Amino acid sequence: MKLRDIGEFGFINRIGKNCINNREKIITGIGDDAAVIPVDKDMLLLVTTDMLIENIHFKRESITGKELGHKSIAVNLSDIAAMGGIPENAFIAVGIPGNVDLDFLDGFYRGIKEICKRWKVNISGGDTTSSITDIVICVTVTGAVKKNEVLLRSGALPGDIIAVTGYLGDSGAGLRIILEKLPLKGNSEYLRNRHILPEPCLKEGRVLASSGFVTSMLDISDGLSSDIFRILEQSSCGARIFEEKIPLSVELVDYSKKKGKNPLEFALNGGEDYALLFTIKRDKVDELKSIYKREIGRDFFEIGEIAETEECKLISSSGREKQLKREGWDHFRK
């Protein structure tokens, strides 16, 4: 049997057994954006790790070293944001083939240092090694969150409102633009940069977590149509998502129109938007809206509601319902 027969998530389920050997030292392990580790009576430690491999996650010719450094850190900070946490320390392991220019590497570390400085994250360790042909990057970030503020994927309850912090689909369209080597101007450049330079929603995550009104949260890394199911499965519930409420940038809509594509396809299945997807106690939505607006200066977007059933339904503007299919990225099947 090969890996593609069981897929990435079948594989994760396969290995996820017998992983706990010291229950006192872990609260939530495999299966959330970051692991949650007890520290003291008030605080929790968060740990997350992400691997980026050349020609799988990026092409060297379509990203600068500095952009790659930024993105390597950003995707991990986004995981800390998704727990409501504050990032503290980053550990950077890199495998570097002999044909990499020192300029590219210097840029890579400049990108890392810039985003780490902005978010007050220390670069506290790592590993450097040679590799054969492809650059390999594995970043681990630790962070902290108060015990009574941590947001897991498992807290959604029927009736809760589902919301996201930002536009969806831009990154997926940006990836398409990169892969098709389309000229970078106007919308294309914006969309490309939304793929290459995601900014972690750390402030948003803190505001949402500290409000006490949010019941579950994650960051959209694989695509809404895939990631919503992570909340639904872990919270044992279903959802109704309203197509017309899914926030789309004018750039994405405009690009999609020109290309004869449906922008919703990008929004549902594109992945790597790194917006936060979260659920809110229904009677606290208005209060949270005003807190969020005051603190962040923008609105979040309500896109649906949690339902009792185990289905996830997508409802069109005309009121037609269809089952949302679990799509998004599977590393071992594509």
Q: Where in 136-165 is the site for its own copies (CB under 8 A)?
A: 136, 138, 140, 142
* Cβ 321 to its own copies shortest distance, Å: 34
Count of residues near its own copies by CB under 8 A: 76
Q: List the one residue from 59, 134, 321, 322 that touches its own copies (CB under 8 A).
A: 134
* Cβ 16 to its own copies shortest distance, Å: 8
| 91/112 Cα distance (integer angstroms) | 11
Interaction residues for its own copies, span 66-125 (CB under 8 A): 88-89, 91, 93-96, 98, 100-102, 105-106, 109, 113, 116-117, 119-125
Q: Could you say whether residue 242 binds its own copies (CB under 8 A)?
A: no
Q: CB of 240 within 8 A of CB of 305?
A: yes
Q: Could you say whether residue 318 binds its own copies (CB under 8 A)?
A: no
CB neighbours (10 Å) of residue 171? 28
Taking phi over 0 as left and psi of -120 to 50 as alpha, with beta for the rest, 126 belongs to: left
Environment class of 199 (CB within 10 Å of its CB; exposed 0-12, middle 13-18, buried 19+): middle
* Cβ 181 to its own copies shortest distance, Å: 20
Q: How does 155-165 read in b/e, with b if 16+ C-beta sit within 10 Å?
A: bbeeebbbbbb
What is the C-alpha radius of gyration for the chain, rounded to an integer number of angstroms?
20
Nearer to its own copies, 127 or 299 (CB): 127
| 252/166 Cα distance (integer angstroms) | 13
Nearer to its own copies, 8 or 295 (CB): 8
| 122/160 Cα distance (integer angstroms) | 37
Only segment of 134-142, 177-185, 223-231, 291-299 that touches its own copies (CB under 8 A) = 134-142
Nearer to its own copies, 56 or 250 (CB): 56
Interaction residues for its own copies, span 275-304 (CB under 8 A): none
Q: Could you say whether residue 45 binds its own copies (CB under 8 A)?
A: yes
| Among 291, 303, 296, CA closest to 211 | 291
Nearer to its own copies, 179 or 250 (CB): 179
The 3-state DSSP class for residue 51 equals: strand
Residues 2-41: x/- map of binding to its own copies (CB under 8 A)?
Answer: xxxxx-x--xx-xx--xxxxx--xx--xx---xx-x-xx-
